[in-house]
Amino acid sequence: MDQDSHCAAERELLEAVSRITTSSTTSPSDEEENQPEAGISCQMRKENPEKDDTQDSSATLGPNSSMTTKELQEYWRNEKRQCKQIKLLFEIPSTRIVEHHLSKYVMYKIIILQTGSFDSNKSVIERRYSDFEKLHRNLLEEFSEELEDVTFPKKTLTGNFTEEIINERKLAFKDYLRLLYSMKYIRRSKKFIDFLTRPELQEAYGCLRGGQYTKALEILVEVIGLQERLTRGNPVATVPTLCAIVVCHKDLENPASAFEYGEKALARLGVHTSHRYYMPLLETMIALAYELGKDFLSLQEKLEEWKTKKDPIRVFTLKELAVREYVRKGIHFPFGRQRTLKQPLFAAATPSPFKT
């Protein structure tokens, strides 16, 4: 009797799965097609069922499936996780008026939340009206057709600091950001991502160049979460930030944390061995692994393989690359000159295979 009940329960589950599968094969709406890459995995599986079957034959469902009820439940839990679309929500809960000797402006506090998440996944930034205005102007150069019906709040000659005007702009800017994010090509554009991350990154790199590694690290760790969510389709874009975090941890004598972020950066690079950060990152990771007592032979092999394929005449160390990020043109920097692999950065320095 127990066996019959178990079989009946399994048949009911299979029928429910069949109904879910049937309903999921309907064509995606326009809104679904306009979502980030992370939300398209379900559609790809629908379009390539044969490929999916060959990749995971044990997950094939049917009347003669040998999967147990528990296995079926776990399978569909995993499917649901993979199909879940990740979106960002924008809120502007408050503002503050900033007054300098010759200027006065309003700073808008922007909270960026990931759907289905809690405070651990939120990012907080501040932007002023001129920042939004510059973003809109830059986007119009590339996306004029997409933005032809978008109304941007105009400046007024008087009353810019009244509570009424500020509240109107809070709502307008919130809707503006949501609208931009809803457009696939705009949310993936460098101009949009720079608007949300570049000021904080510039501040962080400025602290790094000034030797304020603790403050730089604090900002970089805050930014990297948002940057990763904004660049899901292009993970290599986060490599410079991850490497800057490695440099900060290394100079703060936190080798274990530096190695952890270095592994993330290498994973993001993947097969992009021609990336400017690849070889300096490998050198740093070898030094860190040696310091931590980890196996560095595989990293050393990758470095030697890179040297045989590439011309290793002109390279930077990881720290040199980090301090060069976001440096304005025309500013002279002591790390501006490149060196050879056999040439130390400073004349008095002693060459070492683990020098980074």
Query: pLDDT tens for residues 245-280?
Result: 999 999 999 999 999 999 999 999 988 999 999 999
How do 123-128 and 88-99 pair as beta strands? Answer: unpaired
Q: What is the per-residue pLDDT across 301-319, written as a single tens digit (0 to 9) for each?
A: 999 988 887 765 667 899 9
The residue to which tokens 């990771």 are assigned: 285
d(CA 267, CA 346): 31
Tell me, yes or no, whether 16 lies in a domain: no
Q: What does the pLDDT look like over 12-44, one tens digit per residue?
A: 545 544 444 444 433 334 444 444 443 333 343
pLDDT of residue 118: 63
Strand partners, 339: 315
With respect to residue 154, please indicate whether it lies within any of the assigned structural domains: yes
pLDDT at 9: 52
pLDDT of 159-174, one tens digit each? 788 999 999 999 999 9
Does any domain span residue 59? no
| pLDDT value, residue 6 | 52
Model pLDDT, residue 121: 76
106 plus 177 within the same structural domain? yes
Length of the chain: 356
Q: Does 311 map to a domain?
A: yes
According to DSSP, residue 339 is labeled B
Q: Is 293 left (phi over 0), alpha (psi -120 to 50) or beta?
A: left
How buried is 101 (Cβ within 10 angstroms: 0-12 exposed, 13-18 middle, 19+ buried)?
A: exposed
226 and 317 within one domain: yes
| Cβ proximity of 76 and 17 under 8 Å | yes
pLDDT tens digit string along 206-222?
Answer: 999 999 999 999 999 99
- Provide the pLDDT for residue 32: 41
What residues make up the domain containing 108?
87-188
Q: Are 175 and 268 within one domain?
A: no
Residue 249 domain flag:
yes
CA dist., res. 225 & res. 5, Å (int): 48
pLDDT computed for residue 90 by the predictor: 95
**275 and 181 fall within a common domain:** no
Over the range 212-249, which residues count as b (16 or more CB within 10 Å of their CB) and which as e? ebeebbebbeebbbbbbbbbeeebebbbbbbbbbbbbb
In the block, tokens 């919130």 appear at 174
275: domain CATH number?
Answer: 1.25.40.10
What is the arithmetic mean of pLDDT over 1-22? 51
Q: Are residues 108 and 217 in the same domain?
A: no
Lowest-pLDDT range of 285-289, 310-314, 345-349: 345-349
pLDDT at residue 349 tops 50: no
Over the stretch 173-201, which tens digit does the pLDDT of each residue have?
Answer: 999 999 999 999 999 999 999 999 999 99
Is residue 97 situated within a structural domain? Answer: yes
Note the pLDDT tens digit of each residue in 50-65.
Answer: 444 434 434 444 444 5
Q: Are residues 111 and 214 in the same domain?
A: no
Confidence check: pLDDT of 340 > 90:
no
Higher per-residue pLDDT: 9 or 241: 241
DSSP labels, 210-278: TT-HHHHHHHHHHHHHHHHHHTTT-GGGGHHHHHHHHHHHHHTT-HHHHHHHHHHHHHHHTT-TTSTTH
Q: Which pLDDT tens digit goes with each residue over 68-105?
A: 676 666 666 665 544 455 689 999 999 999 998 888 99
pLDDT value for 112: 95
User: Considering its fold, how many domains does the chain have in total?
Assistant: 2
Given 121, 153, 188, the domain boundary residue is 188
Phi-psi region of 266 (alpha: psi -120 to 50; beta: other; left: phi over 0): alpha
Distance, CA of 205 to CA of 324 (rounded, Å)? 9
Q: Is residue 112 part of a domain?
A: yes
Which residues have C-beta within 8 Å of that of residue 288, sequence separation ≥ 6? 250, 255, 258, 259, 262, 294
Model confidence pLDDT, tens digit, residues 96-148: 999 988 889 999 999 999 887 665 678 999 999 999 999 999 999 999 999 99
CATH number of the domain within which 151 lies = 3.30.1520.10
Residue 31 lies in a domain: no
| pLDDT value at residue 203 | 96
